[in-house]
Amino acid sequence: MLFEPLLILELALLGIGTGFLAGLLGIGGGMLMVPFITIIMAQRGVAPDLAVKMAIATSMATIIFTSISSVRAHHKRGAVRWDIVRRLAPGIVIGSIIGSLGVFALLKGAYLAIFFGLFVSFSATQMFLDRKPKPTRQMPGTAGQFAAGGGIGFLSGLVGAGGGFISVPFMTWCNVAIHNAVATSAALGFPIAVANVLGYVISGQSVQNLPPASFGYIWLPALVVIAISSFFVAPLGARFAHKLPVSKLKRVFASILYVLAAYMLWKGLSSL
């Protein structure tokens, strides 16, 4: 199972796709990874409930690497708002740990799949609408950004995504320029991923019937292959983010998300 050529190919293609999107749209790729890793693990005999949880956790672990690669490319262009990163990060860490170490461990995989499907549907709708903020709105103060960071970290921990699906709309709603929001979201992916992965590893230590090469809820073969392939592609996506019509690409991506959300909803409801 660990060294099947087909498995390596599937994971590598998934890593290339998610790495490019991480750089292009400022998302960690979890909304794309989780459904596909769930399918891959289920096809190899992992119980549906456990497959969903491990897909979410493994997806989050890969974001540690894609965020590093992506943010380096954005930082070279001076696009990262490090002042926003510093204010959101403390809340993100606390919210992530609460989500991954507490709520995630207690919920059944079926409920997480349903929540994932609903939240991804909401995110896709937000991408389609692409609403413009009021010109006078600004980022909230330190306390407001701490609270916002807590919400971003908590929700990210439940769905295995890097937070870009919340942080980018939140920042653009506060009149942060879209390219700055995408770049800053990429930087926020690192504290989100590290804090959540810590929770997944600790909470998964007591779980029975984990597949071979698991570290808590993290499935190491998927982590290694996806991380390597996505690490080198994320800077390419970041370069294209400054050249391509991102708003149009978001609508295309949103269409894909609706399909993946429908699959996860079906997966969750059929497992109840």
pTM of the model: 0.82
The tokens describing 116, both together, are 């994932």
Question: What Å distances lie between residue 10 and 62, 157, 176, CA to CA?
Answer: 15, 24, 37
User: Could you give the CA distance from residue 145 to residue 214 in angstroms, rounded to a whole number?
Assistant: 35
> Where in the chain are the domains?
5-271
Hey, what amino acid is at 253?
F
| pLDDT, one tens digit for every residue, the chain (272 residues) | 556 888 899 999 998 988 787 667 666 567 778 889 999 998 888 988 899 999 999 988 988 887 787 788 788 888 899 999 999 999 999 999 998 888 888 888 889 889 888 888 887 787 777 666 566 678 989 899 999 999 999 988 887 777 777 788 788 888 888 788 888 988 998 999 999 999 999 999 988 889 988 999 999 999 999 988 887 887 787 777 767 776 777 777 778 778 878 888 998 898 77
